[in-house]
Structure formats: structure tokens, C-alpha cells
Amino acid sequence: MFFNLLAFSNLSLDINPANTNTVSTVKIENAAYDALMIRENISKPVSAEYPKQWTYDIVMFARFKENLIAGNTDALLSQTSGLRIKRRKVGEFKWITIYENSALTGDVSDFTFEIFDRYARSNVEYEYGIAIICNGIESATSIARAKSVFDGLCVMDREQIFHTILETEVTVQQNQGSVYVAPLSSKYPFVVHNGRTNYASGTATGLFALPDHSTGEYPVNFEDTHMHRRNLMDFLCNGSTKLLKYFDGRMWLVDIIENPSENAMDHKNMILTSFEWAEVGDCEDKHDLYGFGLIDAKPIS
Amino acid sequence: MAETVLYSVTCFDAKLPLVFRFEYYGNQLRGNKLTIRDNLTNDVVYEKEIVSMKNEHSLSPDGSGLLNGRTYNAQLYALPEGSPDYDGISNQIIFDCYSTPVLAFKGISSGDTIRNASFQANIEYSQAEGILLSSYRLLLFDAGQQLLWQSPTVFPAAPSPYSIREMIYDLDDNKEYYLQCVVETVKGIGAESERLKIRVSYTLPEQFSVINAENAPDSCAVKISANLVLVDGKCNNPEPVYIGGDIIDLTNGDFVIYDEGIDLQGDYEIKLTITQAAPYKTILEARNTRTLFTLKLMRGELFGTTGESYYFVLRAENGKSNFVTVSQRFNSHSPSDIYIVVIRLKGHQLSLFAYKIQERGA
């Protein structure tokens, strides 16, 4: 009778098991195993089906094809001669390749990496795809989505980033290179458009200080931030093309022009850094990003 | 005498209609006359007076008498309202007539399926009078014929006949596209190819979703990482026995332990496909620093039933007592039966499901 209670009503002496959610070892025996899979996403209904492809939530998937490998390394290494990480806005067609490795060593480390896409606008949802290259031909892309959101203002290149959320301001002017001529015989002037110039320029201002990474807050005392501002000044004046990003989604590929300056605001330790900039390319254009040395992957189309 | 200015026409296809436009700086017009002469012989090829108040003269390909490959000159006579005679003669313009180029996609037909994410379009350019190609562009449209992408304008240096080759990348799987080529000759005649319908469907032996993306606000960036998983098992037998090359035989006392790369910290699902399961013996054991639960195939004659039943039992160690759950039961069992067993932990609730299948599917 006791046995029946266990077998048919799913009851046991304890209603719930104690702490079975921290598994680090799985041992199998006393059967012939065709497959063993562990996944962390249990949002789908229970079924006897196995996923047809490796998905991100799979922890291990052993198929016992003459080996005990339960990761995805074996097939990756055997099929791939290169890989690309690409990005596009959700809903758009064309990708920008932001990372490429076409000289794989055949080692697992080729596929274990973490990169930062610094050229993403704020408030925009992007798709990132990893494209496998087999025999020089790019095959299917698997995709992950992320919405880029940050606060404040940042100016960066591929090596350095200076970010602040304090006292930020960006002013913009669109320059189209036109002049007008006021003739003697007409009430209205003639407007002459010389060339195709059409670019933005402006001023960016912010209070740049190093945040306390443990708390995420900025120090109240700004006295010790002069080295950070010194590095920022060196960065602004190094002559390289930079990316200027604002929290609202605006972004420009810029060169710093004129002379960056520091001015104390209401208090001698609260120093604002200002710099003038001019747009020198299209920050969404992979040819421009490559041409200015901000991405490695040479555009192929 | 008012001035008449006939706008220039550089080049056109004589088999297509054309409208000559002009300016007339005089009274309202009631008509005009266009005279076209062969530029080599000065013989009149076309001369027609039309009644129209518009400053234009439409040339129909049927009655124009113009031939492709020839050069002509044209002049226009304005006929103002209230005047019996033509009011002067326009400037003379010289133009060429050439056939519209023909563009044909090679190696692919409308509706064909492309088995890759990239595709090299191969288009053959030909022009009856041998006029050289000046430039071309490729246009890619979606299934709704909305423009998705266009290539930069390419100015080829290859001799005629041209074979236009352009690579198209990033085609999505299971999508339909239209491809079109637009060209312009050195004489200024433009042409468009048909919109070629292509389907894209590609398959790989394996596709690995090894990418993960997450917002990194402190870096004003998006962090992209690959989830290459390194999990390798250890067998107590240095030479494990495999059946048919893809089933490991652990019925002979061998066992396999996976203890590297597994670090479950929350909900999870363990799914296994087994055959030749030995009743009453532990098939699977999950551990951290201690045994968490075991899975066994059980046999019993259950209350209220006749004959033996088979079912899986999951037993979690809870210190002094146990948590036990069972799967649905099966009325028969043979060593060759194949079972798929699913163990799920959601919250703190363990559940167990079992399926008996006819053929291996994993």
C-alpha cells in the first residue's frame, strides 16, 4: 500500500527535494546511452524531441559518436575555417562586420572570446550574428539580440573610452557650405551651394571623473580626477578619429578641432571639459569605420 | 522673330518613343514641326507638323524612320497662334540612336533557390551596336519588392562583351528576394534587367548558436560573447564500448562521469535516450558535493493492475527522508526498448517524464 502511494500519486515522504539545483557532476551507468543533454531553459513544454541545433541554453549534449564529448567544440573545429561577428539594426538588411578571424589556429580558443561593440548607438536594438566560414564561403548566421542603452556622453576610439553622466551637453550644427549673394536689383538673395558638403559639428561638454566601480557612483570629491582629465586631454588631442556618442542615440564619427578646454563650474573642483568636434564620416558606414581604423574587418561589399 | 530653343537629346533607342522638348519665347503656340535629317547625308528622315499648344514634339517609333546605329540632327519650327507661317527655326541638335542593352542573368533562372547566405550574380551585357558599358549597379529587393540594398556604382574596365559579376552577401535563410541589374552605356543609354526572383534556403550539418549579446552600459557598448562549451566525460574504461558507432555501452559495469564544465545553479532539464536499461540499478546520478538524486528503472506488480509494470523512479536524498517521484508506467519491457527520460527542476520542484519510442531520434 505504501508502495502504491509512491508510485501513483507522485507523493513521497517529502513534498519537495532539498536543494537539487546545484548540480556539478552527472554519472551515467547500467544502460546503453544514445544521448544525454542538459539545458537551462525550461520554458518550452516537455517533449521527447531534441533540439536540431546547438542553442545558447544547452549546457551539455553528448551523442556518444565514438567519443564522450558533450560540448560543441568538436563539430565547430572540424567545420570552420573562419568566423565573423556582424551587427545590424533590428529590421535592417545589411550587416557591418565588427570582428573577423580568418586565421583560425584550430584551437578551442578561436571560438572563446568576449568582445565589446563600442560603435552601437544608445536606445537602439541590434542583432549580432556569428557567421561561420567554410571554404571561404560564409554560411548561415546565428543571431542574438541586445538593446544598447547607456547614460550620458562618451567619446571613444578602438583603444580608449571616456564616459561621463555628469553635466553633459552636446550642441550640434549642420554645415552645408552655402553662401548667399544679395543683388542690388532683387528683394531676395541668391543662395549658392558650393559643393556637396553636409556634415555636423558642435561642442561637447561634460564633467569627466572616474566612477567608483564598486558602487557605480561618482566621487563627491573631484580633486583626484585631474589625472583622468589629463588622460582625456591627451586622448582628445592625439589626432585620431573618434566616435562621439550621446545617451539619446545620436552618434558621430568625429575629429576634435580647435582646442579642448577645462573650466571650473560653481566650484573649483568641479571642472567641465569642453571640446569642439566636426563630423568626418558616416558612423554607420563600414567603409568609413574601416578607413578610419575603427574596425579591423575590411568591408567585402 | 521669337527665339526657339530645342533641348538636346544625346542618345536614345529608335525603337522606343521619345519626346523632344523646346522653349519658345513668343506668343502662344498652336503647333510645331520637327525635321530630322541623317547627319551624314543630310537627307530628311522625318518631318512632321503637329497641332499642339505644348512645347514638345512626340516621336513615335513606328513612323519615325530612325534606325539604331545612326547619327541624326534635328531642328524644330514653332507655329505661333495667329500666324500663318513658322516663326523662325530652332537650334540644331545632333544625337545618336542605339539599341537598348540586353541584360541576362547567367546560371540562374527566376524562382531558383540559392543554398547559401552569399551569392555571386553573373549578368551578361550585350548591346547590338557594340556600345561599351559605362557603369552598373545591382539592386536587391525583398519579397514585397522594397529596395533592401544596392551596390556601389561600378565602372568596369573589362572589354566588351561584358560579364558583370557582383557578390551579394548576408542573404537570410528561408527568404525570397528580387535581384535587378541597372546599367548605363558610355553613350548614356540606361537599361534595367528583369527583377529575378530568388529563394534562399541553406542548411548546414550543424549550426551553433554560440553567440550571446548583452548591453554593457558602463562601457557604452554591447558585450558579445561566444558560449563555446567544453564538456568532456571520463569513463572508467579507457576504451569504452560503442554500439554502432554512436551508442555507448555501459551495461557491463562501465560508467561515465561528466564533472567538468557543468555548473547548474537554477532550473534545468536533463534528457537522456537509453536502451538496455537494467532494472533496479542506478542509471543516472546527479551530484555536487553529495548525491542529489538518482534515476532507476523499476519493475513491479502494482496495486489494481495485472501483470508487471515498468517505470522510472527519481529519488532525491533529503537527509533523513527522501523525495521520490515516478514516471508514467509501461506495461511491457524488453532490453531493446528505447526510452527517452526527462528530468526537470523548476523552482525546487523535480518532475520526471518518460517516453518509450520505436526508433532512435537523437
Q: Which residue has the higher pLDDT, B117 or A96?
A: A96
Looking at beta carbons, which residues of chain A come within 8 Å of B321? 13-14
Average model confidence (pLDDT) across chain A: 81
Domains of chain B, residue spans: 4-97, 102-200, 264-357
**Do residues B315 and B302 make contact, with C-beta atoms less than 8 angstroms apart?**
no
Specify the 3-state DSSP secondary structure of B79: strand
Q: Which of A148, A178, A204 is the last residue of a domain?
A: A148
Task: Judge if A108 and A233 occupy the same domain.
Answer: no
The domain of A142 spans: 75-148
Tell me if A121 is assigned to some domain.
yes
Instruction: Compute the C-alpha angle A148/A149/A154, nearest 5°.
Output: 100
Nearest CB among A23, A126, A139 relative to B202 is that of A139
Task: Judge if A171 and A247 occupy the same domain.
Answer: yes
Nearest CB among A33, A156, A163 relative to B250 is that of A33
- Beta strands in B60-114, from DSSP E residues, in sequence order: 70-80, 93-97, 102-105, 112-114
A166 touches chain B (CB under 8 A): no
Of A70, A77, A62, whose CA–CA distance to A109 is shortest? A77
Burial (CB count within 10 angstroms: exposed 0-12, middle 13-18, buried 19+), residue B198:
buried
Q: Do A148 and B222 touch (CB under 8 A)?
A: yes
Class of domain B4-97: mainly beta
Q: Which residue has the higher pLDDT, A267 or A78?
A: A267
Query: Residue A24: how many CA atoms within 13 Å on its side-chain side?
Result: 4
* pLDDT tens digits along A182-194: 888 888 988 888 8
* pLDDT tens digits along A5-42: 333 334 455 566 667 778 889 999 999 999 999 988 78
Task: Judge if A125 and A158 occupy the same domain.
Answer: no
Distance, in angstroms, between A179 CA and closest chain B CA? 30
Strands B321-326, B309-318: pairing kind = antiparallel
CA distance B116 to A224: 57
Residue B13: all three cell numbers together: 533607342
CATH number at residue A99: 2.60.40.10
Task: Judge if A188 and A162 occupy the same domain.
Answer: yes
The runs of H, that is alpha helices, within chain A are 2-9, 73-79, 226-236, 286-291
* Mean pLDDT per 10-residue segment, chain B (362 residues): 84 90 88 93 92 90 85 92 84 92 87 79 87 88 88 73 77 85 88 90 52 83 76 87 91 90 84 92 88 88 77 81 83 87 87 82 46
Tell me if A300 is assigned to some domain.
no
Distance, in angstroms, between B46 CA and closest chain A CA? 43
Task: Judge if A172 and A210 occupy the same domain.
Answer: yes
- Split into its structural domains, chain A has a count of 3
Q: Do A122 and B228 touch (CB under 8 A)?
A: no
Looking at beta carbons, which residues of chain B come within 8 Å of A40? 264, 266-269
Tell me if A57 is assigned to some domain.
yes
Q: Which chain B residue's Cα is nearest to A246?
A: B220
Q: Which chain B residue's Cα is nearest to A150?
A: B217
**Do residues B330 and B300 make contact, with C-beta atoms less than 8 angstroms apart?**
no
**Do residues B353 and B269 make contact, with C-beta atoms less than 8 angstroms apart?**
no
Cα separations in angstroms, A221 against A30, A215, A270, B55, B259:
67, 15, 9, 78, 49
* pLDDT tens digits along A221-233: 666 778 888 999 9
Q: What pLDDT, on the 0 to 100 scale, is given for residue B28?
A: 87
Q: Do A142 and B202 touch (CB under 8 A)?
A: no
CB atoms closer than 10 angstroms to residue A128: 26
Tell me if A241 is assigned to some domain.
yes
Q: Which chain B residue's Cα is nearest to A161?
A: B219
Q: Which of A91, A122, A148 is the last residue of a domain?
A: A148
CATH number at residue A268: 2.40.30
Task: Judge if A45 and A84 occupy the same domain.
Answer: no
Q: What pLDDT, on the 0 to 100 scale, is given for residue A56?
A: 66
* pLDDT tens digits along A31-80: 999 999 998 878 888 888 888 766 767 888 888 888 887 776 655 666 66
Q: What pLDDT, on the 0 to 100 scale, is given for residue A8?
A: 39
**CATH of range B102-200; options 3.40.50.720, 1.10.3720.10, 3.40.50.300, 2.60.40.10:** 2.60.40.10
Grid cell 576610439 is found at A157
**Do residues A166 and A206 make contact, with C-beta atoms less than 8 angstroms apart?**
yes
Q: What pLDDT, on the 0 to 100 scale, is given for residue B229?
A: 64
Residue A272: all three cell numbers together: 567641465
Q: What pLDDT, on the 0 to 100 scale, is given for residue B322?
A: 77
Q: How far is CA B326 from the centre of its chain?
A: 48
Looking at beta carbons, which residues of chain B come within 8 Å of A211? 218
CA distance B295 to B234: 20
Q: Do B274 and A34 touch (CB under 8 A)?
A: yes
Query: Considering only residues 308 to 347 of chain B, which have any Cβ-Cβ distance to chain A shorter than 8 Å?
Result: 311, 316-319, 321-326, 329, 338, 340, 342, 344-346
Q: What pLDDT, on the 0 to 100 scale, is given for residue A137?
A: 63
Residue A106: all three cell numbers together: 584550430
Q: Which of A115, A148, A181 is the last residue of a domain?
A: A148
Task: Judge if A117 and A241 occupy the same domain.
Answer: no
Q: Do A71 and B261 touch (CB under 8 A)?
A: yes
Strands B11-12, B93-97: pairing kind = parallel
Residue A55 is which amino acid?
Answer: T
Q: Which residue has the higher pLDDT, A140 or B305?
A: B305
Cα separations in angstroms, B249 against A57, A217, A234, B243:
28, 58, 66, 7
Looking at beta carbons, which residues of chain A come within 8 Å of B338? 34
Task: Judge if A171 and A116 occupy the same domain.
Answer: no
CA distance B287 to A25: 5
Task: Judge if A286 and A218 occupy the same domain.
Answer: yes
DSSP per residue, B156-206 = --PPSSEEEEEEE--PPTTEEEEEEEEEEETTS-EEE---EEEEE----S-
Query: Which residues pair with residue A251 across a beta bridge?
Result: A245
Look at residue A253 and tell me whether its pLDDT is greater than 50: yes
Residue B191: all three cell numbers together: 537599361
